[in-house]
Chain A
């Protein structure tokens, strides 16, 4: 054993911040072991965050671009997205019409940029509203045992209808507007959140720290507020991003089949719907909104995946 690690006496080690110290006679010292993994160059905190959470960063940047596009739409070289120009119908993409024009001569680039507003508004509103409502339903169902059976049967009933069909049905009852689209998709998404929250609450109830709260005399509202709720927020946040992405797609589908946002407001869904008839000759009318929809949904999903990994306590940070 001493062949490769020769004991060394009477002299200080070659490396390391070793203070000079006289060694008593007969003391054997072990060499420090070499580094197997070379230390990475230390970079700033920003770079470290990027390296640890690449998906959040990429998704976040993409999402930020779309967000800025929606907010700054009037200043991005756009024209009135609803302005008709029958003389300039179905132009191919050019320096003047970047994405071409549609069958009514409207500038597709401007329509796509303004359409981001609808997608983001619908996505984020539904994510927020469905989360809050689902959280409430899930908490009640998880904490009040006698209500659980009733609430969950209703939720099961709603979940047996595909969310898109439920949304179409609800839209059929009202007239097309962005608000109504948001309400319809929210109602269709609530059961998913409620189920998730209920599951999390049921497992949290069994956690020793919740039992400890009971035995230290904490009242039920405080237990929910301090012990249950904060611990459901992490899985909730992740779920909310997926709902956001799915709501954007649902909105596009609703608008595509004409059950969603009215044609007067450009949305990626109804831009594609209008290009449907000309798909074989003027494919770019559908192509550009489709690319933007895909990229935005991808960005939201990337953020969701990143959050899931970052917030999951089982994913130890040092593994």
Chain B
């Protein structure tokens, strides 16, 4: 972690104005992404992971959203940029893949046009150059017969193919950061396997940093280098992927890992009952005193209900926000 990170988010707060008061969707989240690394943001719906991603691209309507903190991309604070400068960054330096490949593609334009569009817009390529590059991109993402496919419309492609096209569009301008918001959630298992393979392969070849937003710990384990765990708008843990899965420090992360069924575990002697996290996510419309997880934590004490724990290093490069998380001696 040395040098200036590609993207650093500092104390990001995204609050939404609602008729019943402020909804603290993201409340003081900080993390950084280094060039070329894959950082996964994990959490359940409503934890603020997608809102964080949307605020990086400044895609949230303000109001009702209000954003505070800083989002530094290559040193520039994106929150201070005029919207025109922001448009230059979107799709060029930072691009995004959404969950639903059908609704993210324009149904009346050919695949080739849609890939070419970004290239012509950001890199000033001619129509012919853009089409040639589109074929190249389709080859890169493993679409057979790219020469024919560039002239097809999204509805002529299957779900897996469309997601490949989305990836091709996202990678067309060689972005430095790719935000992938639940890229495989809408896909079938066998297609998900193909896309994950593709993402791993592209990571090596393209070298873009990836911010992977997902609720699926299996996907995280397969592609991420580092993981940020979010809960109720806060970051509760951050660690290299192996450390996180080997020794999760936050009780929420531990609970999540127990609640996720592992294929083959029962056959190898695990109990059939899954571990549960009792209760449910607290409302973000009230200010939460103390630890956000206090209401569901098996080890909760009065201290947790009173004072929110600080995010502290518990092991090298391993942060957790829990008063009682074990702390290694060598942690700084």
Contact = CB atoms under 8 A, between A and B. Distances in A.
B307 A36 contact: no
A308 B11 CA distance: 39
Interface stretch (A11-19, A89-97, A108-116, A225-233): A11-19
B21 A39 contact: yes
B30 A23 contact: no
B312 A7 contact: yes
A27 interface: yes
Interface in A174-221: none
A21 interface: yes
B93 interface: no
Contact of B19 (A7, A23, A317): A317
Contacts of A4: 10-11
B287 A27 contact: no
Contact of B310 (A5, A17, A52): A5
Decide if the interface of chain B is mainly helix, strand, loop or mixed: strand
A30 B310 contact: yes
Interface in B27-69: 27-28, 30, 64, 66-68
Most buried by B among A19, A29, A52: A29
Given A4-B10, A318-B23, A32 B309 contact: no
A33 B306 contact: no
Contacts of B309: 27-30
A48 interface: yes
Interface in A1-55: 1-2, 4-5, 7, 13, 16-19, 21, 23-24, 27-30, 32-37, 39-40, 48, 51-52
A35 B309 CA distance: 19
Contacts of A21: 302-303, 306-307
B323 interface: yes
Given A39-B22, A319-B64, A2 B308 contact: no
Interface string B15-29: 111111111100110
Contact residues of A: prevailing secondary structure: loop
Q: How large is the interface on A (under 10, 10 to 19, 20 to 34, 35 or more residues)?
A: 20 to 34
A5 B28 contact: yes
A55 to B, nearest CB: 15
A317 B321 CA distance: 33
Contacts of A28: 309-310, 312
Given A24-B303, A27-B303, A27-B323, A36 B13 contact: yes
A30 B311 CA distance: 7
B254 to A, nearest CB: 20
B188 interface: no
Given A4-B11, A21-B302, A39-B22, A29 B310 contact: yes
B306 A36 contact: no
A18 B306 contact: yes
Contacts of A29: 307-310
A27 B321 CA distance: 11
A27 B15 contact: no
Contacts of B136: none
Nearest to A2: B310
A66 to B, nearest CB: 30
Interface string B292-319: 0000000000110011111110000001
A318 B13 contact: no
Contacts of B16: 37, 318
B289 interface: yes
B13 A30 contact: no
Contacts of B11: 4-5, 33
A39 B15 CA distance: 12
B289 A18 contact: yes
A21 B290 CA distance: 13
A4 B69 CA distance: 10
A22 to B, nearest CB: 10
Contact of A13 (B18, B19, B64, B307): B307
A301 B20 CA distance: 27
Contacts of B22: 35-37, 39
A1 B30 contact: yes
B125 to A, nearest CB: 39
Given A30-B308, A30-B311, A32-B308, A16 B23 contact: no
Contacts of B287: 16, 32
Nearest to A38: B22
A37 B15 contact: yes
B172 to A, nearest CB: 33
Nearest to B28: A33
A1 B31 CA distance: 8
A36 B289 CA distance: 17
Nearest to A52: B19
A39 B309 CA distance: 25
Q: Which of B22, B64, B310: most chain A Cβ within 10 A?
A: B310
Contacts of B13: 33-34, 36
A112 to B, nearest CB: 39
B34 to A, nearest CB: 15
A281 to B, nearest CB: 53
A317 to B, nearest CB: 7
Contact of B307 (A1, A27, A37): A27
26 contacts: A1-B30, A4-B10, A5-B310, A18-B307, A19-B306, A21-B302, A23-B303, A23-B307, A27-B323, A28-B309, A28-B312, A30-B28, A30-B308, A30-B310, A30-B311, A32-B287, A33-B13, A35-B22, A36-B66, A37-B66, A48-B19, A51-B19, A317-B19, A318-B285, A319-B18, A319-B64
Given A33-B28, A37-B17, A48-B19, 10 more contacts: A2-B310, A7-B312, A16-B287, A28-B312, A34-B13, A35-B22, A36-B13, A39-B22, A317-B19, A318-B19
By Cβ-Cβ distance, the 4 closest A-B pairs, closest first, are A28-B310, A7-B310, A318-B18, A37-B22
